[in-house]
């Protein structure tokens, strides 16, 4: 069997408590994404069956799918950061020698982490304003701010992921796009 198939997908290459944090984030992302996609599929299928077989639609289906899309989107940004799959505009970066690229990658990861934490902070402020408005979803009758709770969680987890990437680049001799992905392009990127 291949070495990569035996490896635990949630195992971290970071030492100590950072590895525990990295593994925990990986597990939370996996649960959120898998359960969100599965619930959306079940909800959509149940609504279609109800509509065409029983001539009765689920009145809450659209609202539930909206909640799940927000969950999947904001859990997905953290997952994409973990996999090193965010868009890169790297013309200047690619022209630099390896030591400068390493420093640039630490700077990029640190600034991105700060931006994610700032967005987390601002999204909490927005949720607080929405919560004081008292608005509720028409079909489910739950407060509207509940559907936005995933936004700061996603930004926070992404900020942590980029912080861990900066740390990984500081403590490692290689250059990493994330804690698991070495720098390179499709034909030479390696997941570790």
pTM over 0.85: no
Structure tokens at 40: 């959306």
pLDDT tens digits, one per residue of 102-161 = 998 999 999 999 999 999 999 999 999 999 998 988 888 889 899 899 899 999 999 999
Q: Residue 20: helix, strand or coil by DSSP?
A: helix
- Distance between CA atoms of residues 55 and 57, nearest Å: 7
pLDDT over 60 (residue 1): no
pLDDT band of residue 185 (cuts 50, 70, 90) is: low
Q: Is the pLDDT at 3 greater than 70, yes or no?
A: no
Q: What distances in angstroms separate CA 122 from CA 5, 95, 118, 126, 150, one per listed residue?
A: 40, 35, 6, 6, 13
Mean pLDDT within 19-25: 82
Is the confidence at residue 189, as pLDDT, over 70? no
Higher pLDDT among residues 188 and 26, named by residue: 26
Place of tokens 């001799």: 173
Give Cα 149 distance to the centre of its chain: 14
Q: Please, which pLDDT band fits residue 191 given cuts at 50, 70 and 90? A: low
Q: Regarding predicted confidence, which is higher, 23 or 166?
A: 166
Note every long-range contact of 146-151, with CB atoms under 8 Å and residues 24 or more positions apart, other chains counting: 146/67, 147/66, 147/67, 147/70, 148/70, 148/123, 150/32, 150/70, 150/71, 150/74, 150/75, 151/70, 151/74, 151/123, 151/127
> In this structure, are residues 176 and 182 in contact, taking their beta carbons and an 8 Å threshold?
yes
The per-residue pLDDT for range 43-95, each reduced to its tens digit, is 999 999 998 888 888 888 888 999 999 999 998 998 888 887 777 777 788 88
Nearest to 106 by CA among 22, 165, 161: 165
Residue 141 CA to its chain's centroid (Å): 28
Q: Which DSSP category does 86 fall into?
A: S
Average pLDDT on 12-25 reads: 79
């Amino acid at each position: 069997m291949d070495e990569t198939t035996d490896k635990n997908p949630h195992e971290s290459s970071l030492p100590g408590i950072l590895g525990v944090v990295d593994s925990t984030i990986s597990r939370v992302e996996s649960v959120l994404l898998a359960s969100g996609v599965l619930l959306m599929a079940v909800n959509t299928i149940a609504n279609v069956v109800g509509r065409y077989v029983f001539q009765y639609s689920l009145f809450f289906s659209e609202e539930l799918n909206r909640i799940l899309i927000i969950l999947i989107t904001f859990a997905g940004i953290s997952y994409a950061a973990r996999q090193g799959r965010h868009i890169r505009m790297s013309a200047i970066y690619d022209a630099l020698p390896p030591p400068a690229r390493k420093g640039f990658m630490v700077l990029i990861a640190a600034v991105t982490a700060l931006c994610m934490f700032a967005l987390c902070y601002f999204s909490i402020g927005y949720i607080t304003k929405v919560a004081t408005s008292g608005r509720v979803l028409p079909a489910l009758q739950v407060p509207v701010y509940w559907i936005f709770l995933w936004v700061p969680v996603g930004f926070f987890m992404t900020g942590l992921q980029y912080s861990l990437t900066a740390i990984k680049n500081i403590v490692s001799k290689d250059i990493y796009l994330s804690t698991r992905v070495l720098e390179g392009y499709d034909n030479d990127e390696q997941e570790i």
